Amino acid sequence: MEPQELDAWAGAAARRLGVSLEPGDVSALLDLARDAAHGVTRPAAPLTAYIAGMAVASGRPLEDVARELRVAIAEVEQGGD
């Protein structure tokens, strides 16, 4: 799937659910999911995206959420919780 097609899909899905995407959200979420898949385990990717979505829905900026989740991923990579 081309990036434009993925952006179109994400936009359509967001509109259907009555939410909006900010410029860069798709890329930021894909990067975060990639980091979780590689740093934790593959199944962590969708779970991490879901958790990020819940945090953003509660009012936290995606940039802050992604930063905190990357800290958690790094801790797992280093053998922590």
Band the pLDDT of 2: cuts 50, 70, 90.
confident
Distant-in-sequence, close-in-space partners of 63: CB < 8 Å, separation ≥ 6: 28
What is the extent of the structural domain holding 69? 21-77
> Within a domain: residue 59?
yes
What would the mean pLDDT of 16-37 be, rounded to a whole number?
95
Q: What is the pTM of this model?
A: 0.87
Task: Decide if 6 is inside a domain.
Answer: no
Is the residue at 26 inside a domain?
Answer: yes
How many domains does the structure of the chain reveal?
Answer: 1
What is the structure's pLDDT at 81? 63
Q: Is residue 15 part of a domain?
A: no
Q: Catalogue the E-assigned strands of 1-81.
A: none
35: left (phi > 0), else alpha (psi -120 to 50), else beta?
Answer: alpha
Domain presence at residue 11: no
What does the pLDDT look like over 65-81, one tens digit per residue?
Answer: 999 999 999 999 998 66
Whether residue 42 lies inside any domain: the answer is: yes
